[in-house]
Amino acid sequence: MRKLITMALAAIFMTGNAFGAMHFVHLKAKTDIERSKIANIIHIDQVIEDSIYAVVNEDDLKELKKEIGYLLIETHVYVPKGPKNNSEEIEFPKKDEKYHTYKETMDVLDEMARKYPKIVTSLSLGTSVEGRELKGLRITGPRNLKSDAFIPGIFFVGAHHAREHLSTEVPLLLLKYLLENYGTDQRITDLVNGRDIYFVPMLNPDGAMHDIKGRKYKMWRKNRIENSKGSFGVDLNRNYSYGWGTGGSSRRETSDVFMGPKPFSEPETQAVKKFVEEHANIRIILSFHTFSELILYPWGGKKDGVSGKDGQVFTKMAETMSKWNKYKPMQASGLYVATGDTCDWAYGEHGIFCFTFELSPKSRWRGGFYPGAKVIEPAFQANILPALYLIDKAADPYGVLKK
């Protein structure tokens, strides 16, 4: 009987994670040294003053207790909201149906390519672990499509992290916005004519679809590779090569910040590497994530700031954009040190000015990773001007330093 009750409880608390219940944790971390110690073990969902909040799996909690138990001030089992549902249906929970599934996202990309053939071409960057095509769009003026001349490029990418569904919606709305206003809005027409604008709205489709399977969120972060002992997932934003594995990521396969067995071990990060390296005109990258409303720039893997003129370009651009979206501009490692992310690689290896936007909401009390459909439109609106600015500056990033 007791065994039955335990099993039933385990089933209730299971959030789709094969390793058991998820736990909410609140830790006290007064210094960035303490924060960075924590970032070696778990993913930090939010930092507020000297508090850290996160939802972690059973294994991560064990490790936290073992390594830095003295910092833990509150833990309880995390029970995701929403009706019980054991189906395998791949669709968002009813109230969030406005969000796009992988299939719906691909349908939008196909529809745009069909509707605007003069300025859009479809891209295929590769395939995910489970075999989903990693699709994108290239938007550029009709003449550029036929010529080999150099045109400055910019790359917008969403959903490295599965549960950050808003990070697919914003680039999807942005690309539609550019296309719908091309030919009528002069600024947009000129920008599109003068740039190569690349969009990949869902880089981690397997993780994102796993997160919504059965129409119930699972707090999934990583991709869906099967690891050596049967757990799943590598954190794609710890899998890039620059400074890989030197802090703020874990070698434990069950960790939410598992760096993978080697840099670029994953097909999804390999796809970005290959694409960016084959498109040498890319001068700026914007990687969308959620949440906290931040504009982050390198370095993320070390405390030093980017030196010289480049450092000034990063801060100037971040500060300018923050006036429009009201997000807080900061160096990524100011949040916590973490290595293997997109931007340290893009800038460190290729000198690309790369930003990470942590979209809405501002805090976990406003919904955290699952803020609902109401935030989609305002998050898009807030980021139109920052996106247009980056598209513009791709022609000459150093131009922002001129008086």
Q: Give the residue nearest to ligand 0X9 (CB).
A: 300
Q: Where are the alpha helices (DSSP H) in 182-213?
A: 186-194, 205-212
Catalytic residue check, 358: yes
Q: Considering the rule CB under 6 A, would residue 332 count as an interface residue with ligand 0X9?
A: yes
| Binding residue for ligand 0X9, selected from 22, 166, 313, 338, defined by CB under 6 A | 338
Nearer to ligand 0X9, 138 or 161 (CB): 161
Cβ pair 340, 347 in contact under 8 A: no
Minimum Å gap between C-beta 324 and ligand 0X9 is: 21
Does residue 273 touch Zn ion according to CB under 5 A? no
Is 100 or 393 the residue whose CB approaches Zn ion more closely?
A: 100
161: contact with Zn ion by CB under 5 A:
yes
Q: Which of 135, 161, 215, 283 binds ligand 0X9 (CB under 6 A)?
A: 161
Residue at 203: amino acid letter: L
Site string for ligand 0X9, 340-359 (x = CB under 6 A): -x--------------x-x-
Contact 261, 267 (CB under 8 A): no
| Binding residue (CB under 6 A) for ligand 0X9 from 52, 296, 318, 388 | 296
Quick one: 32 or 104, whose CB is closer to ligand 0X9? 32
User: Going residue by residue from 284 to 313, which x/- string records binding to Zn ion, judged by CB under 5 A?
Assistant: -----x------------------------
What are 394's two structure tokens? 């791709």
R_g of the chain, CA atoms, integer Å: 21
Longest C-alpha distance within the chain, in Å?
Answer: 76
What's the CA gap between 323 and 225, in Å, rounded?
39
Name the one residue in this structure whose structure tokens are 């800038």: 347
For residue 387, the SS3 value is helix
* Binding-residue pattern over the window 356 to 395 for ligand 0X9, x denoting contact by CB under 6 A: x-x-------------------------------------
* Angstrom distance (rounded) from CA 238 to CA 246: 10
d(CA 394, CA 207): 31
61 vs 335 by CB, closer to ligand 0X9: 335
Among residues 23, 215, 283, 289, the one that binds ligand 0X9 under rule CB under 6 A: 289
Nearer to Zn ion, 161 or 215 (CB): 161
**Run of H or E residues at 198:** strand 196-200
Q: Which one from 169, 266, 268, 358 is the annotated catalytic residue?
A: 358
The count of C-alpha atoms lying within 13 angstroms of the C-alpha of 366, restricted to the half-sphere facing its C-beta, is: 13
- To which H or E segment does residue 318 belong? helix 308-325
**Dihedral (Cα; 349, 350, 351, 356), 10-degree rounding:** -80
Catalytic residues: 358
Binding site for Zn ion (CB under 5 A): 161, 164, 289
Binding site for ligand 0X9 (CB under 6 A): 43, 161, 164, 237, 289, 296, 300-301, 332-333, 335-336, 338, 341, 356, 358
